[in-house]
Structure 1
Amino acid sequence: MDPQTALVLAIQLIALFSIAGALLLYLLCKVRSTQTRISGPQNGTILITSVDTALGLQLATHLANRGCRVFAGMKDAIDSLPAKLLKNWMKMRESSEVPIQGSIVPMQLDVTREDILREAVDAMGAHMNASERGITAVINTAGTLFRGRVENQDVQQWETMLKTNILGSLRVAKAFIGLLKPTRGRLIYLGAGNRGDGLVAFTASKVAVESCADELRKELQPYGVSVVKLDTNGVPAESLYRAPIPYNISPDCDGAPTQYSAEVLTASALQVIEHALFDLRPHERYELAVPNSKFHLTLPCRSSFRFKTDIAGVQKV
């Protein structure tokens, strides 16, 4: 074999081995990704610290549809709008042809009050079976936002954001770590996300929450508890803590509003949150990075109940 032919053959063999190696590496990465993620409906017990927000409401109904038992925290678990929405949503789903496998348990919860947090822990324990050791995850959706330039804002607004966003996050960890340790569960916080004009104090509070999450991760690592941050870039800051907006007052329902709308997450963002909850090896941070959508809930009036969304793939009835 002449030298030129040998050189061509060597180059061809190198190219062939390179292609084979790249293909093998791709397959290994694919297998590893498959092994670290769980697909399909998930079972678990999850606490959402505030469904007084539209975001919390959407997460509660979505996860219940996925087969989870959801403890839905709210400041008024009886007469508030979220309490009525969830009560009627569960009633409607239970009477449908294919009832959901999960459930929603409304409960009083306020992250600014340790006494109520202690009562919430006791209430959750009362709903658990004797064989249950703890809960799967806590998603802290509680928080407060006031937009405004520093020179124009009231100092009391700063104090409220610091008290709710920072101290509230720490109180949540303190109250529910005991329920996460037995299951090696997850504590999930909303990150700083979008930073815009008039959000100096709010952003400072959320950056502090992220720092708290990083330090909590180190502290809880020996117990197997994962602390996860959700990057909320792509979601307007106000949407994180905005309450549902009532509209369409109906005389057939004694003048009560029959529809509520709010800006919440898309189906893609909900899948990201599912990965944060159920990946076998969770990342420290997950990026939502998707535009928000319109989410409409309709309370039943007589025999009607409608559930609408303008994003394909999100729950529909």
Structure 2
Amino acid sequence: MTTSSELGELAVVTGASTGIGAATARALAGRGFHVLAGVRREQDADAIRAPGVEPLILDITEPDHIQALTSRVNDDPQGRPVRALVNNAAVQANVPIEVFAIDEWRRMFEVNLFGQVAVIQALLPALMRSRGRVINISSVGGKIAMAGYGPYAATKFALEAVSDSLRREMAPFGVGVVVIEPGAVRTEMLGRAIATGGALVSAMTPAQSRGYGALVHAVNAQAVASTQSGVPAGAAAAVIVKAVTARKPRTRYTVGREAAMIRWLPFLPDRTLDRIFAAALRPHFPKEDERHPAVPV
């Protein structure tokens, strides 16, 4: 049920073309918000446009796009306050650290961290006026960093740190900061991550291919198996809507049973975690590589 406090308020969702972002935009519109849905292409805008969902072309690494978003929020023709910023835009690639080119590292941080911070900085004055909320979409990769996930996990660990500092800084101003940590969610993101990783891996040297080829295969096979049994994007959207609308939201929410279990693993000793992750990855290696050095026994 839509409450009177939700009617006539704005919500901003970045990365709303597909998956969790699109599901969240539609779910918030269903609760009575007017959603400014950030997408990167006109065809994505056409796909998501609906009552209560207003698509905006938004690449969070482009300052002009962020300025346009800020102007749209501040100059809303109906004077509606902004209730929430949902920072969902992200990219992923499952690639070993050695073979992930430094320019690709920078691009991933530009999207997954610096772009998020840029949008937060731009909209904080409006959120402070409305005593709104910042909802940062992290990942279980913001708590643990498995083999093949180093670059992506690095950005999410950083986003978690930013979120903690921001929450403490914003408390006196009445702005809530909430982190969402999804586990396996059935979205298009995994397919893009595998395709991106595959292109990068294809450029590996012969020595790197011998060293990491089986590992990359296992990481992607494990990711596919996990995602197939994951929750739908709508389940993640429901958690995000709760974080936006709850009178006293928690500081963190997990999405899916897997995420709820994984969040406690960092309390185990490092070597114990190494063995747990190695054992979980071992069944996904090609048969001839069961004794691969990356998977100790």
Which deviations, in whole Å up to 9, do the C-alpha atoms of 1:144-175 show, x marking residues without a partner? 11211112222221111111111112101101
Higher-Rg member (1/2):
1
Q: 2:246 aligns with which of 264, 276, 279?
A: 279
Q: Percent identity?
A: 27
- Matched with 2:130 is 183
* Structure that is richer in helix per residue: 2
Offset of residue 242 of structure 1: 5.2
Gaps of 5+ in 2: 194-227, 260-297
Deviations 1:168-191 (A, max 9, x none): 121011011011111110001112
Matched residues in 2 for 1:241 and 1:187: separation?
Answer: 28
Of 101, 113, 134, which aligns to 1:154?
101
1:193 to 140, 160, 168: 140
What is the Cα deviation at residue 219 of structure 1? 1.2
1:85 equivalent in structure 2: 47
TM-score by length of 1: 0.62
Q: Deviations over 1:198-241 (max 9, x none)?
A: 11011011100000010111111111101100011233797379
1:228 pairs with 175, 178, 191, which one? 178
Residue in structure 1 matched with residue 61 of structure 2 by the alignment: 112
Aligned 1:107-146 pairs, distance under 5 A = 107-130=56-79, 132=80, 134-146=81-93
| Cα distance change of structure 1 residues 226 and 242 upon mapping to structure 2, 3 Å threshold | farther
RMSD of the alignment, in Å? 2.8
1:173 maps onto 2:123 in alignment: no
Q: 1:203 aligns with which of 150, 153, 161?
A: 153
Partner of 1:216: 166
- Partner amino acid, structure 2, of 1:188: I
Please give the alpha-carbon distance, in whole angstroms, between the structure 2 residues aligned to 1:189 and 1:242: 21
Q: Determine the C-alpha separation between the residues in 2 that align with 1:233 and 1:175.
A: 29
CA contact (8 A) 1:188 1:229 kept: yes
**Offset of 1:264 from its aligned partner?**
7.1
Give the Cα–Cα distance (whole angstroms) in 1 for the partners of residues 153 and 115 of structure 2. 15
Structure 1 unaligned blocks of 5 or more = 1-38, 91-101, 244-261, 293-317
Task: Name the counterpart of 2:33.
Answer: 68
**Residue type of the alignment partner of 1:179:** A
Q: Deviations over 1:292-311 (max 9, x none)?
A: 9xxxxxxxxxxxxxxxxxxx
Q: Which amino acid aligns with 1:60?
A: A
Q: Give the TM-score taking structure 2 as reference length.
A: 0.66
User: Number of residue pairs matched?
Assistant: 218
1:49 and 1:158 mapped to 2: Cα distance?
A: 21
**Which deviations, in whole Å up to 9, do the C-alpha atoms of 1:104-149 show, x marking residues without a partner?**
111122211222211211123343414x3x3000001111112111
| Residue type at the aligned position of 2:17 | D
